[in-house]
Structure 1
């Protein structure tokens, strides 16, 4: 009689990864994060360091904020240029 192998997500001792089923979006995200973290820890020469990730993230956040400000100003300027006539009847 064959015994089934225990799924990898059940072998972990971390409660956060085992608290959610990998079939749920949060469980899948936690499982993916755990696999990525274990892979990065097992081979420190692979990929970027934590400081590089922080720098890259900060640059991307600043870029997203700048794009958001530009879009906000364009929309606001266009909205202010729209001429809205007075409502009939005194605007009640």
Structure 2
């Protein structure tokens, strides 16, 4: 009878070691996944922020300098932007 009990415990502990190994592999995999997703979202943000977003006033100045808008239109835009 003792042999059956001892054998059962050996099987239990052997399975427990495998389960503990799978547990740690899962924890590491989740950590790697979270780190990679964190970096991807940061990279997306950097790309969005990396685009040259021009100041509306600068755009109005450039359009006025090119003659696309009149002095009055530039003044209206400037007044609207400074509100």
Which TM-score applies when normalising by structure 2?
A: 0.42
Whose helix fraction is larger, Structure 1's or Structure 2's? Answer: 2
Structure number with bigger Rg: 2
